């Protein structure tokens, strides 16, 4: 099968890597891709937000299957444009992707489906916001209603900071603070059947000890040795299946990847947010352990055949990924610096490898930084400590001027 992946981050590199290992995939394309993806797929420039351009490219390449990685193209309706040309797509329609694109829509779906989540108010002006903040008290949680690339959520003990963030957004969701460890659980669905993957944990803050600003994610590990073994079944029953059923009932079936961001609170599991696509960097560690060939699995979801798909198979052990970010990330990342040590970081036995995010190759093939998150160094091992040690050993071989990474990914279990 000829497969086209849309996107160009480490998530898409992880997807392309898994697809390139699937014997069903005869040709792999990625648009726009990055310098690492270009080593395993043919990359093409495209504006990922332009549905017509993406659909035209898919047709021109003879793609038989398109997988959309990031949220912004999904919310912009890129899946609909490609499906309109008769090509199966892994990724929800623009309507269904509102589950991620609008926090208020997600809250409405959860209320209708009886899914446990934080109590919340939708506020459209400063007076409403002030009232809601007062009702919940500190710590304050203020969420921009729309997509904001991981930067729309402010959690703060400072009332003025919370009020200022609310004032800077059009519409905000203000909600109760959820206390407890966070879990990311992905599920693949065709709109009816829901197949959960293995849980992961990511690290959102920029610096060690969960200090500093929120980022797109600085590292992840999977599985979660501390989690209740019944967690996945419980979330399937109380969160994932009811949400998929509710969206189908509304006439906007959700097919693709449903990502539940969860807090394990003293009062039970609560949804922090839904995403409509694979999470980055959790995908890097979840796919590192998935033994089932990826293409057939995602294609079954895209074509409504998940009920007949055999149970997933997983590798033993664990995976850890460490994100190397450019100087200045997340506020104002600098780009254009050479990245060294990429080959030296890879383990010959495949237990450590480097996934690219913001990179590009210059005319003579030198890899240069070209984004906030530059690399996602991923390793597997018999358990988390071994995977972690390998990931950090590989990270230490990479050179990028001014770059930073967290030293405490998967350190405390």
Residues that bind ligand AMP (CB under 6 A): 118, 141, 150, 153, 155, 175, 177-178, 182, 204, 214, 261, 272-273
CB of residue 118 vs ligand AMP: minimum separation in angstroms?
Answer: 4
**Least Cβ distance, residue 204 to ligand AMP (angstroms):** 5
- Three-class secondary structure of residue 199 per DSSP: coil
What are the start-end ranges of the H helices in 303-371?
A: 342-345
**Contacting residues for 390 by C-beta, under 8 A, at least 6 apart:** 320, 347, 351, 352, 379, 380, 381
- Cβ closest to ligand AMP, residue 153 vs residue 387: 153
Assigned token pair, 285 = 């560690």
Nearer CB in complex with ligand AMP: 283/403: 283
In the complex with ligand AMP, the residue whose CB is nearer, 96 or 218, is 218
Q: Taking the complex as a whole, how short is the minimal distance between the CB of residue 202 and ligand AMP, in angstroms?
A: 8
Alpha helical stretches, state H, 137-267: 159-168, 231-235, 241-249
Backbone angles phi, psi at 354, to 5 degrees: -110, 120
154 burial class (0-12, 13-18, 19+ CB within 10 angstroms)? buried
Question: Least Å distance between CB 179 and ligand AMP?
Answer: 7
Nearest to 371 by CA among 404, 322, 326, 324: 326
Helix (H, G, I), strand (E, B) or coil at 113: helix
Name which of 238 and 292 has its Cβ closer to ligand AMP: 238
Tell me how far the alpha carbon of residue 166 is from its chain's centroid.
25
CB of 52 to ligand AMP, least distance (A): 30
Query: Measured from the CB atom, is 46 or 169 closer to ligand AMP?
Result: 169
Burial of 320 (0-12, 13-18, 19+ CB in 10 A): buried
Residue 97, both tokens? 């992707």
Distance in Å, CB of 126 to ligand AMP, minimum:
21
Candidates 141, 159, 152, 167; CA nearest to 214 is 152
Nearest to ligand AMP of 254, 274 (CB atom): 274
CB of 127 to ligand AMP, least distance (A): 22
CB nearer ligand AMP, residue 150 or residue 293: 150
């Amino acid at each position: 099968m000829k497969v086209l992946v849309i996107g160009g981050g480490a998530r898409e590199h992880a997807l392309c890597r898994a697809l390139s290992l699937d014997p069903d995939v005869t040709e792999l394309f990625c648009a726009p891709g990055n310098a690492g993806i270009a080593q395993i797929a043919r990359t093409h420039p495209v504006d990922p937000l332009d549905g017509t351009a993406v659909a035209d490219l898919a047709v021109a390449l003879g793609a038989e299957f398109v997988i959309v990685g990031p949220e912004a193209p999904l919310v912009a309706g890129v899946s609909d444009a490609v499906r309109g040309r008769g090509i199966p797509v892994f990724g929800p329609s623009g309507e269904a992707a509102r589950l991620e694109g609008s926090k208020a829509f997600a809250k409405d779906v959860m209320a209708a489906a009886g899914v446990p989540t934080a109590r919340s108010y939708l506020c459209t002006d400063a007076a409403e916001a002030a009232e809601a903040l007062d009702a919940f008290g500190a710590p304050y949680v203020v969420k921009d209603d729309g997509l904001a690339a991981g930067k729309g959520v402010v959690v703060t003990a400072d009332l003025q900071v919370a009020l200022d963030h609310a004032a800077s957004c059009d519409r905000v969701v203000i909600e109760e603070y959820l206390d407890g460890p966070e879990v990311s659980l992905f599920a693949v669905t065709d709109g009816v059947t829901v197949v959960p993957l293995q849980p992961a944990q990511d690290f959102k803050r920029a610096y060690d000890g969960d200090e500093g600003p929120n980022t797109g994610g600085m590292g992840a590990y999977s599985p979660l040795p501390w989690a209740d073994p019944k967690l996945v079944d419980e979330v399937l029953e109380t969160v994932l299946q009811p949400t998929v059923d509710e969206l189908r009932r509304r006439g906007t079936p959700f097919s693709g990847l449903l990502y539940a961001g969860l807090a394990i609170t003293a009062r039970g599991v609560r949804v922090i947010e839904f995403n409509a696509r694979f999470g980055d960097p959790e995908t890097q560690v979840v796919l590192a352990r998935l033994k089932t060939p990826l293409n057939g699995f995602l294609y079954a979801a895209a074509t409504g055949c998940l009920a007949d798909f055999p149970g997933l198979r997983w590798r033993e052990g664990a995976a850890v990924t460490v994100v190397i970010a450019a100087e200045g990330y997340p506020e104002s990342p600098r780009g254009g610096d050479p990245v060294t040590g990429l080959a030296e970081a890879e383990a010959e036995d495949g237990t450590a490898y480097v996934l690219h995010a913001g990179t590009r190759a210059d005319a003579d093939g030198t890899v240069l930084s070209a984004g906030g998150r530059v690399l996602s160094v991923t390793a597997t091992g018999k358990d988390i400590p071994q995977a972690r040690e390998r990931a950090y050993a590989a990270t230490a071989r990479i050179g990028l001027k001014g770059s930073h990474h967290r030293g405490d990914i998967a350190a405390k279990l």
